[in-house]
Structure 1
């Protein structure tokens, strides 16, 4: 599998298929492997690229340099190096934050955005939100990484019939570098681009699991601030929608990407 040196860091990526480019950006503690349920649906129609962000997967784990802006700049450098023209950007959770940062910093780059169970900021504003953030940071820093991985797997994939998936993802999360994982987690807290959403000038699909951490209504609020944007809610889905409801998610994504390829109809 190929690697690139970008911004002083060796980043691992995959590049498959032909057609319009689709860049898949994973979430915190994950990697490009987590898009395995989307590749069979996308590859007949698109050139599909995955990128392991710094500190994740098979990419380097430098001691510093972790921020959403830095992740987005790594994506920008990757897009330029690979000579991708207006790629469709798909990001889940932390990957959605990276996509928002990229689209607000460099609005000329994305052909479209698909944001999955994410948002344009992670700034606690209410007592309950402060408590949730504090709890997440506390347990991540105190508990051993295998314990964190086990808890996350149970939270994201709780059903008995998801036992095999749960075991796979628990093992993947155990493989994280603890220092890089914690640095990436801290990078999320206090980040936000909500005041710059008017810079986004491409179509946006926001996908929410009906049981995601963040209520659907919160996503509806920021979708209303975007121009060409729509919200799709996937039933019986938590935070890991592309994994727990891959068929429903893939249909939404393919329909959206196809609509982005259609020329606009103008009235005569």
Structure 2
């Protein structure tokens, strides 16, 4: 367990392994434990770092507005403080948004991107999406994270045999500070780096779960705009793929990272 002091608050992160660094970025209302079933395997071949974004997990909850650019700036500061150089970035949901932002703001820091059930914008372009956003904010304001957790958990893990994962999700989301969670949620809505996708030249792997909230076609549409990207499907998986399909997800990530590292002369995995 480690912390870094940033702008008057502490940024918590966990790390393990050695070699080329890999950042594991979590989803909204969660923390680095999103990756607890993935990190041990990745740490056999890479230096794995899993931070908690500001307002999440064991990191501080400073006042003020939150948002994807701010979250990404915190991660960049962590990379600079640890002198990591170019890193592989693996992001789930909100973490994928942070990865996109980091890639356009600090391309020098991003060796590759793995985007898991996420995209380069969160803009309500239909009445249905606007209704969904408004409903989530209303639930948060009126009932708080614990009530929202009871709504989200069955959607994330709908199978009878996933009761343990549902209980885990309810505990994780329910433990959020209500004010910080609300500010983080508001900070995601309306965010976009879509016009800057052409500037992301690093290799990108987009992982799509069969039961994700966003259809495969939407992900393929932005993959086609990226200079060096491909899409891969995770079967029998929902939005929280690192938890419901950690094995296949880790297989996909490992294969991609090794492919990228082999293409870079002098890297640990180059052959």
* TM-score bin, normalised by smaller chain: over 0.9
Is 2:120 the counterpart of 1:113?
no
TM-score (normalizing by structure 1): 0.96
RMSD of aligned alpha carbons: 1.3
Corresponding residue number in structure 1 for 2:269: none
Shift of 1:264: 6.8
Look up the SS of the partner of 2:14 in the other structure: strand
Q: Distance in 1 between matches of 2:89 and 2:133?
A: 27
CA contact (8 A) 1:7 1:74 kept: no
Q: Distance in 1 between matches of 2:171 and 2:264?
A: 45
Corresponding residue number in structure 2 for 1:262: 262
Look up the SS of the partner of 1:143 in the other structure: helix
Q: Distance in 2 between matches of 1:148 and 1:132?
A: 13
Ranges in structure 1 where 5+ consecutive residues have no aligned partner: none
Q: Deviations over 1:229-255 (max 9, x none)?
A: 010111111110111111111110000
Shift of 1:226: 0.2
Corresponding residue number in structure 1 for 2:177: 177
Range with greater deviation from structure 2 (131-140 or 79-88): 131-140
Q: Deviations over 1:140-180 (max 9, x none)?
A: 22223211112111110111111112112211111110100
CA contact (8 A) 2:208 2:216 kept: yes
Q: Distance in 1 between matches of 2:40 and 2:2?
A: 20
Q: Distance in 2 between matches of 1:93 and 1:187?
A: 14
Q: Distance in 2 between matches of 1:9 and 1:20?
A: 27
Corresponding residue number in structure 2 for 1:241: 241
Structure 1 stretches of 4+ with a deviation exceeding 3 A read none
Ranges in structure 2 where 5+ consecutive residues have no aligned partner: 266-271
| Aligned counterparts, 1:70-89, within 5 A | 70-89=70-89
Shift of 1:106: 1.2
Corresponding residue number in structure 1 for 2:19: 19
TM-score (normalizing by structure 2): 0.95
In the alignment of these two chains, the number of paired residues is 265
CA contact (8 A) 1:100 1:193 kept: yes
| Aligned counterparts, 1:53-64, within 5 A | 53-64=53-64
Q: Distance in 2 between matches of 1:144 and 1:80?
A: 35
Look up the SS of the partner of 2:28 in the other structure: coil
Corresponding residue number in structure 2 for 1:7: 7
CA contact (8 A) 1:38 1:246 kept: yes
Corresponding residue number in structure 2 for 1:155: 155
CA contact (8 A) 2:206 2:230 kept: yes
